[in-house]
Structure 1
């Protein structure tokens, strides 16, 4: 018989001694002709006394499987050894599953059931078959066992014993929705005595394998209740931290891309479910202890660099209710999370605290939620000012469009003033930039900013530096000087500074620093050249931070040569603000194809460009 399926799945009887082959003929060892052909009637698994493989009958005929029955035997001949073995293991699997199901569902003595359950688990873990039914059948038997008498008083203890015995099976197989609901019920009813070691592997499998909790609500509830059960123990905090650590793994990057978003979504859903209907203003109560573990999970996830990106993504915009953020205990944990986001140097992380419309009240960003004048997060005033200032510091050092960012945040001027009065450098720098770039309009507003700058000793120094820069700029604009200038190869940042201090360069239009040793530090002096139109930085160490300064302060620049410089997409994207740029050389830089396409769209008047030896070439 050439079919790979012997079709022995249903009840019934057949003639004993029947042999099935492709040619429908078989002669036994006594040379007696026996019936052969196709199996016409199904054979019941219950009537099979023994099944074993016959590796070789004679040189011409092999790959046979013998099924022994009460009144004879049946030979099945396959085309090859692989098919024969698949038949063998399939028949053995089905026979045993039927036997286990009948025994486990009909037996009364629980100790006997647990012993037979262990045998079923061992058999299911050692079978070489790889099929969906191999996973589904033992789990369904396990589900039926746990669901029996679930309303009886002793159900929790019975479910614990079954879960402990079936721990190897739960660790290697994905549990279904009904079983998830039963295990979640066990965690809720007896959180301190639930078999946590046995339930940890299926919980982690749910986190690492699930792709849509919307289609598997029982799976999310199972994870939630398991974490609550962990937290209910005396050492709950350490158990929750250890759970996050094991879920991430010992590698620098978690090998399971679904683990972080699934775990974060469970934590956010648990916090939202608890605080959604809570009245405001917030009143602390004992029930909050049950939900704080989920805020701890978000905080623990931020300890891993790869997961920090995920946490920042799910927190943009603010996903918490006002009642949740007004809880001091939740707010303290959120403050630690935001502090990690604000200090991370990666743009994909720290920009999560301010989305594209950060200043708008709805939906709020974290800059809006932690604004010191009207905070939504219940943190202390000093902590809010420090956190808000740290966010601004990172955003200013990263954002390629600092001027447009400050313009969008102009309505938060009172917050800038409050944070500046605490002496935070980022707020002081922003107030100076608002004056220098004329972001703050109106004489009264400018006087308020000046008063805030002079409110602290650090602010007074910032204001003196601003006045000095303004006077230097006015002096350079009034003086003449050469229109073209090229510095020697050995020139450094100090030489550029000395040149600007000593000479009159108000008319300088073309400056070449090619093949010199200047770095981004000289950009602070280059931005003082009001008439500069041509800048050659070929083969220098001029980097992203310098390019950003040039893009912000030299809007009339028309020609820029950055060939063989270490600039990357971060600095190149800032050039999109130079609307007067006509010629650009990015040969042999770290330019990507995506950044170049974006730059071309934002600079439609760009006439010439060189992108050879880059990814965009």
Structure 2
């Protein structure tokens, strides 16, 4: 065409199904001075032209009407807005502008009147009308900022009688939580979620509304279908706590201003009620991301204690190992075991509850993945905490002190005397110490000279059979032990480590796993031959074997060994001469 064709001049647009017997596909555009016929190659192209022209023509009309509405009647404006929303949601076009243009018109509509006294009323009604659009389209940064402003107005003290934030604001908030990837690039989106939660909390039923909000964000399924929801929600909660308490004075003084931020600590606690989200929360909390000012607040500390209790009670290593120091931990505090240490606590809890929480965390680690000599050695600087908690008769602290004596982790006569005095300071501690003395006497008998040098257990042998075997007679001369094709698991490792002269250990086709390997690596430095063929060990346990400097033969056939772990073994075990890595990734 020689001259441009303006959308505003188009009076009518419609498709001509057939133009002649050749079956041509045409589009007719009615203009003031006549008609224009456009011919397409096929029906699809013609229909795309038709919908595109209709889209552009209507969007220009809606934009001109809705962005210049100061003198227009509100009902008429809202009626046009509803027509635009219906049109956008029914168009068959799949184009970026279909998403961007209507959201920009809504943004301009809210922004143009934000200085007027009736902005709240306008914004509330416009948001309600545009709710279907907000639920289906992504809101940009400017629109998120305007919606966040509306949340703050709805959550203000004078507006709490309105019943919290508008229901229409829930869809864009959920969309941000489930679709956003990086809050660093979308600060207004994070602000929208934060202000929406604050407005929920400001309602008279704020506690139940917050719990319901977390429940809806997770979804009705056992596993949340949105991978980004939990990290985003945890990030919003932690950022809100940090902003409020970052400049908190010492000592902490509770004020009414804290009521607006405690809901974010509640969110972390409510998230721990879902198993899949508990893994994510534990990952976010290592190293400690909460500022010292927040932990000095007793009300925040009480909620964080609930989070830590849920983490410590979970049986999955991927969850409760967040309590120990991370490789890149911050110096202050490096981990939750340090932040909650009863001798110098950073979490403002009563002493008795603090001791119980700290002991529960230690107990969870000891009873699962960290009942290891190296773990207790790493905790040796926190010996005063073990002593303080042991005086409250916490079983985990008492067991830890006994293991420090049994495994010779506590160095120095004075330190050992302190531990013994603590154990004998309570009735339960005396029982633990008596059991320790009995075990030590049995260990002396077990490791005495004499007995066989080689031993093989029958195929039906179990962990209980290994324990019963070591209960009788001297096995101090035992050098070779075969448990191949038996029913033993990692639980038998606590008995195997009592054989310091062991040089050969065959665990072929057993259920001996990573937890047992960690114990062996800590306590059997003289081991030279180890057969782990067809066992469920992974890199986590295999890489612990680097501490077995005397190891010469290693069979990892048909295990979950990776190439990276194999390279680590080759580099750090120079005496390793014979190894079998067939049917592994490293083969």
Question: TM tier, shorter chain?
Answer: over 0.9
Q: Does 1:82 align with 2:52?
A: no
- Unpaired stretches in structure 2, ≥5 consecutive residues: none
Name the counterpart of 1:235: 205
Match of 1:103 among 62, 65, 74: 65
Name the counterpart of 1:434: 404
Q: Which moved more, 1:273-282 or 1:559-568?
A: 559-568
Take 2:459 and 2:318, find their aligned partners in 1: how far apart are those partners?
38
Take 1:126 and 1:277, find their aligned partners in 2: how far apart are those partners?
51
Q: Does 1:169 align with 2:133?
A: yes
Alpha carbons of structure 1 residues 496 and 209: separation in structure 2 relative to 1, 3 Å: closer
Report the alpha carbon displacement of residue 160 of structure 1 after superposing the two structures with TM.
Answer: 0.5
Take 1:348 and 1:161, find their aligned partners in 2: how far apart are those partners?
47
Contact 1:358 1:367 (C-alpha < 8 Å) held by counterparts:
no
Q: Which moved more, 1:529-538 or 1:546-555?
A: 546-555
Name the counterpart of 2:347: 377
Q: Does 1:469 align with 2:439?
A: yes
Alpha carbons of structure 1 residues 568 and 451: separation in structure 2 relative to 1, 3 Å: same
Name the counterpart of 1:263: 233
Q: Does 1:55 align with 2:25?
A: no
Q: Which moved more, 1:158-167 or 1:578-587?
A: 578-587
Report the alpha carbon displacement of residue 260 of structure 1 after superposing the two structures with TM.
Answer: 1.6
Report the alpha carbon displacement of residue 62 of structure 1 after superposing the two structures with TM.
Answer: 1.1
Name the counterpart of 1:607: 577
Q: Which moved more, 1:331-340 or 1:564-573?
A: 564-573
Name the counterpart of 1:318: 288
Q: Deviations over 1:441-486 (max 9, x none)?
A: 2211110000111122332232223223323333344422232223
Contact 1:359 1:412 (C-alpha < 8 Å) held by counterparts:
no
Report the alpha carbon displacement of residue 165 of structure 1 after superposing the two structures with TM.
Answer: 0.7
Name the counterpart of 1:151: 115
Alpha carbons of structure 1 residues 601 and 349: separation in structure 2 relative to 1, 3 Å: farther
Match of 1:444 among 387, 390, 414: 414
Alpha carbons of structure 1 residues 578 and 487: separation in structure 2 relative to 1, 3 Å: same
Alpha carbons of structure 1 residues 237 and 595: separation in structure 2 relative to 1, 3 Å: farther
Any idea what SS the aligned residue of 2:498 has? coil
Report the alpha carbon displacement of residue 590 of structure 1 after superposing the two structures with TM.
Answer: 4.5
Contact 1:359 1:409 (C-alpha < 8 Å) held by counterparts:
no
Take 2:196 and 2:247, find their aligned partners in 1: how far apart are those partners?
23
Any idea what SS the aligned residue of 2:28 has? strand
Q: Does 1:282 align with 2:252?
A: yes
Any idea what SS the aligned residue of 1:255 has? coil
Which structure: larger Rg? Answer: 1
Name the counterpart of 1:121: 85
Q: Does 1:407 align with 2:377?
A: yes
Name the counterpart of 1:504: 474
Report the alpha carbon displacement of residue 568 of structure 1 after superposing the two structures with TM.
Answer: 4.4
Report the alpha carbon displacement of residue 592 of structure 1 after superposing the two structures with TM.
Answer: 4.8
Give me the CA root mean square deviation.
2.3
- Give me the TM-score of the superposition, normalised by structure 2: 0.93
Name the counterpart of 2:124: 160
Report the alpha carbon displacement of residue 551 of structure 1 after superposing the two structures with TM.
Answer: 2.7
Contact 1:52 1:65 (C-alpha < 8 Å) held by counterparts:
yes
Alpha carbons of structure 1 residues 584 and 157: separation in structure 2 relative to 1, 3 Å: same
Take 1:92 and 1:163, find their aligned partners in 2: how far apart are those partners?
25
Q: Does 1:223 align with 2:185?
A: no
Alpha carbons of structure 1 residues 552 and 397: separation in structure 2 relative to 1, 3 Å: farther
Any idea what SS the aligned residue of 1:485 has? strand
Match of 1:189 among 150, 153, 157: 153
Report the alpha carbon displacement of residue 596 of structure 1 after superposing the two structures with TM.
Answer: 4.2
Where in structure 2 are the equivalents of 1:343-422 lying within 5 Å?
343-356=313-326, 361-399=331-369, 402-422=372-392
Name the counterpart of 1:68: 30
Name the counterpart of 2:266: 296
Runs of 4+ in 1 over 6 A off after TM superposition: 357-360
Alpha carbons of structure 1 residues 422 and 615: separation in structure 2 relative to 1, 3 Å: farther
Take 1:318 and 1:64, find their aligned partners in 2: how far apart are those partners?
66
Name the counterpart of 1:33: none
Contact 2:272 2:281 (C-alpha < 8 Å) held by counterparts:
yes
Q: Deviations over 1:475-529 (max 9, x none)?
A: 3444222322233444444544444344332212112233344444443433222
Contact 1:400 1:573 (C-alpha < 8 Å) held by counterparts:
no
Name the counterpart of 1:94: 56
Contact 1:493 1:521 (C-alpha < 8 Å) held by counterparts:
yes
Report the alpha carbon displacement of residue 61 of structure 1 after superposing the two structures with TM.
Answer: 5.2
Report the alpha carbon displacement of residue 91 of structure 1 after superposing the two structures with TM.
Answer: 0.8
Take 2:415 and 2:529, find their aligned partners in 1: how far apart are those partners?
37
Take 2:145 and 2:460, find their aligned partners in 1: how far apart are those partners?
73
Name the counterpart of 2:521: 551
Take 2:332 and 2:579, find their aligned partners in 1: how far apart are those partners?
41
Alpha carbons of structure 1 residues 124 and 153: separation in structure 2 relative to 1, 3 Å: same
Where in structure 2 are the equivalents of 1:505-584 lying within 5 Å?
505-584=475-554
- Unpaired stretches in structure 1, ≥5 consecutive residues: 1-38
Q: Which moved more, 1:563-572 or 1:210-219?
A: 563-572
Take 2:321 and 2:474, find their aligned partners in 1: how far apart are those partners?
41
Take 1:360 and 1:74, find their aligned partners in 2: how far apart are those partners?
71
Report the alpha carbon displacement of residue 216 of structure 1 after superposing the two structures with TM.
Answer: 1.6
Name the counterpart of 1:138: 102
Take 2:470 and 2:193, find their aligned partners in 1: how far apart are those partners?
65
Any idea what SS the aligned residue of 1:345 has? coil
Q: Deviations over 1:217-236 (max 9, x none)?
A: 11111111111111111211
Take 1:359 and 1:428, find their aligned partners in 2: how far apart are those partners?
28
Any idea what SS the aligned residue of 2:19 has? strand
- Give me the TM-score of the superposition, normalised by structure 1: 0.88
Any idea what SS the aligned residue of 1:214 has? helix
Contact 1:572 1:591 (C-alpha < 8 Å) held by counterparts:
yes
